[in-house]
Chain A
Amino acid sequence: MDERIEKAFAVANYMATLANQKRIILEEYNQQLIYYVEGATFKITPDLISFVKTMCDRPFDLILIDANNLPVKISNPKQFLNDIIQKYDNASLEYFSKYLDIKSKRKIADIIDL
């Protein structure tokens, strides 16, 4: 086979591996954003963080709707806010680091650390 065509196929394989690995690290990130509290489950999002921060200072009970559309009363909103911010920070930092890492690699073997 022409050397240039071989190189083109190698690039295609590299692109397919890179695209697939991006999907996987995104799913790893999504799973790290799952947060359990008081029998309920949340996916931590910037929206959730902003909403809880807004509601936190009000002198009322904080009722949230979880990932399964079940209502839950958060007994300690400030602790909840701290926990979700910390978890969001850690997960986002790790995702960012993984993303930079695979983006900088130019060989399939390097993308998955063979």
Chain B
Amino acid sequence: MSKGIVIFAQNNSSIDYIKLSIFAAKQAQHYLDLPVSLVTDSLTWLNTTYLDHPFDQVIEVHEIAYKQKKAFFDGALSSKSLEWKNFARYQAYALSPYDTTLVIDSDFIINSSVLKSAFDRDADLQIYSQSMDLAHERSADEFNRINDRGIPFYWATAFIFKKNPMMESFFDLISYIRTNWDYYKMLYNIDASLFRNDYAFSIAIHILNSKMDGNFTVELPGKMIYTRDKDVLVEMHNGTMQFLMEKKNYNGEYIIAKTTNLDVHVMNKFSLSRFIDGGSGV
């Protein structure tokens, strides 16, 4: 039974997701010792810019006609409205070359081996619902439930699935939810207008749990540790990361935080990109 990691990367006009993916892949290979494949619609950019990329396989997907934009923050005081290409995730089942696959976002930075043994667990789908904001006391309500009275929130940022008919149905359902997003958004009373994989996954899990508290999923070990895009990555070295974390209720004021050997979802892609380029992320 083959095991591996898949990263999705679809560049927009300002963010080089391929660069982030190469960095995330090297971290994953170092700590998990597994092959990493890339799914991208930016194949030409990869082949001309990153000739020595670390990917086991590169799988091309094509852009779809529908486009959506969102604000990408770079710290608390700067943001850009950019295209957000997140429609390919439902294809993870069809595109993954592995029997058991860890799918991660290009901004999910692995600094520990905690996910390695999760590949051997007897579970079809392992995903995070528990999370921890690296900053103290900021509201995390939006990551607990999809709305105030809604179903539990699951993170599509990192998950492990096995290829079998059950999981094929799961991804088919996500595809269906994506296609009929306006309907499901209304049905589940989701405020956000944009399609978001976390919501589609949460809805699909709710449906496959027969709309009850079922056991279709198993929690990935630990918690989804995250920093928001209003936070800033300062430094990273040998499994240690330092961040400036925006203070609760104080726009543009920060406290500093340090992690050691924790996998962290770094939502500020500009900051991560600056760090990869060889400087500080500030």
A23 vs B136: C-alpha distance in the bound complex, in angstroms?
8
Question: Within B254-282, which residues are at the interface with A (CB < 8 Å)?
Answer: 255-262
Interface majority SS (helix, strand, loop, mixed), chain A: helix
A87 vs B117: C-alpha distance in the bound complex, in angstroms?
15
Q: A16 contacts B219, CB within 8 Å?
A: no
One of B88-96, B147-155, B220-228 at the interface: B220-228
Interface size on A, residues (CB 8 A): 28
User: Is A17 in contact with chain B by the CB < 8 A criterion?
Assistant: yes
Q: A31 contacts B258, CB within 8 Å?
A: no
Q: B136 contacts A19, CB within 8 Å?
A: yes
Contacting residues, chain A, for B117 (C-beta < 8 A): 36, 41
* 16 pairs of residues in contact across A and B, judged by CB atoms under 8 Å: A16-B136, A16-B247, A17-B256, A21-B257, A24-B257, A27-B222, A27-B223, A31-B114, A34-B221, A36-B117, A36-B120, A40-B121, A40-B122, A68-B123, A68-B218, A70-B122
Besides A13-B255, A24-B259, A27-B222, 14 more A-B contacts (Cβ < 8 Å) are A16-B136, A17-B255, A20-B255, A21-B258, A27-B223, A28-B259, A36-B118, A40-B122, A41-B221, A68-B218, A70-B122, A108-B255, A108-B256, A112-B258
Chain A interface (Cβ within 8 Å of chain B)? 13, 16-17, 19-21, 23-25, 27-28, 30-31, 34, 36, 39-41, 67-70, 98, 108, 111-114
